[in-house]
Amino acid sequence: MSRFLFVVPPLVGHINPAIAVAEELGRRHHEVAWAGDADVLAALLPPGVDIRRCPVPDPPERPPGLRGFAALKFLWEQVLVPLAAAMTPAVTQAVAQFHPDALVVDQQALAGALVAERSGLPWATSATTSSELVDPLAAMPKVKQWLAELLDGLRHRAGDPSATTDLRFSPHLVLAFTTRAMVGDETQVAGPVCFVGPMRRDGSGDAELPASSGPLVYVSLGTVNADAGPRFLSACVDALRERPQLRAVVVAPDGLLDDVPPHVLVRPQVAQGAVLAQASAVVCHAGHNTVCEALSFGLPLVVAPIRDDQPIVAEQVVRAGAGVRLRFDRADAGQIGDALDAVLSEPAYAAGATRIQESFRAAGGAQEAADRLEKLIA
């Protein structure tokens, strides 16, 4: 029996994949503890799980219009570096008290990598998005150098100054919650990358669907983008209004959309897995979790990326032949409708989605991830 300490940011989409791996380790009689935001973890984990509380700064409000380098700069300087600084003392204490054999560190919880380096412990990266695996800054050497200097400064303040590897990628093991079929042949990460596929955990709840019949379309901008997307969501409703042969579930805050036709159901939250199990296509922002969950059901996508890793994930969807990409800021009802017609009627998109679905099934999931973690400490 061994001990694993999971170090995670206060982000549900980053924690859920790790939970599936931790549960598999628990079934194998390993001890697991968590370091992170105790309130967020307590809401996601079953009672009695060992949680080591880490203080986390209140997230700053991100200006909705940030794109490109401005968005990247804001993420690192205002969110990730302060998070690492706030969490490092508590993660250090957790290591001293729990005595883990290895750490499993989310890419956005850099405190775990810093403490593992300084403690000389083996650690694995939990890579919940495929965007970093393709070196998105390769064509921007000055930006890449800026980020390297930022990480180097963080390491000299809180880690092992003699270490030279990228804090975002463990030199021991990178657990990538995607597959080579999805990422393509562009993986740029040096070191042992294990593609284990996305961790889909069955959610609770029943699917509330429109009373009408016909192919079901699911529309969502994720948990943090809906307020920024009233124009796009309204255009989706307009496209669906012109297609009464379809039915749809649209995730949007109460009061954001009006004049909704009866074959379109708008709700602030839904049991996403239950809806996807009955859907025929998905319209989304190309968030990694939403895309992977849709593809795990073999569903073709219409993707309209907004920022962060979403343009990279959208490009991977298109390259895999599993969907159509639109401009989030410019797509109108006609373009959205045409894209929906294409993914619903052209067999090539369904075939592309099915190919990725099969790669997910073959990847090994939580069992493969646990196997690799056991080898890490062997």
Domains of the chain plus CATH, in order, are 3-197+363-377 (3.40.50.2000), 216-361 (3.40.50.2000)
Encoded amino acid at 329, one letter: D
List of residues 6+ apart from 48 with CB closer than 8 A? none
Residue listed under structure tokens 């990694």:
288
- In which element (H, E) is residue 273 found? helix 272-276
Q: Alpha helix locations (H) across the chain?
A: 12-27, 38-44, 68-74, 81-98, 110-119, 141-158, 180-183, 230-241, 272-276, 288-296, 310-319, 333-345, 347-362, 365-377
Q: Cα(80)–Cα(59) distance, rounded to whole angstroms?
A: 10
**In the structure encoding, which two tokens stand for residue 133, read together?**
């695996």
**In the structure encoding, which two tokens stand for residue 247, read together?**
């039915």
Encoded amino acid at 41, one letter: L
Q: Cα(86)–Cα(356) distance, rounded to whole angstroms?
A: 38
**In the structure encoding, which two tokens stand for residue 94, read together?**
């957790």
List for the chain the helix, strand, coil content (%; round to 5): 45, 15, 40
As a whole number of Å, the CA-based R_g of the chain is 21
Residue 186 CB neighbours (<10 A): 14
**In the structure encoding, which two tokens stand for residue 347, read together?**
């067999």
**In the structure encoding, which two tokens stand for residue 140, read together?**
């921007």
Encoded amino acid at 79, one letter: V
Among 138, 67, 63, 13, residue whose Cα is nearest residue 327: 67
Q: What is the dihedral sign for C-alpha 188, 305, 307, 155?
A: negative
0.85 surpassed by pTM: yes
**What spatial distance separates the first Cα and last Cα of the chain, rounded to whole Å?**
11
Strand order in the sheet with 323-325: 264-267, 247-251, 216-220, 281-284, 301-303, 323-325
What string of pLDDT tens digits covers the 378 residues of the chain? 899 999 999 998 899 999 999 999 999 999 999 999 999 999 999 999 999 999 999 888 777 666 677 878 888 888 899 999 999 999 999 999 999 999 999 999 999 999 999 999 999 999 988 777 776 666 678 888 888 888 888 888 888 888 888 888 999 999 999 999 998 876 566 568 999 999 865 555 678 899 888 999 999 998 655 555 789 999 999 999 999 999 999 999 988 898 899 999 999 989 898 999 999 999 999 999 899 999 999 999 999 998 888 998 999 999 999 999 999 999 999 999 999 999 999 999 999 999 999 999 999 999 999 999 999 998
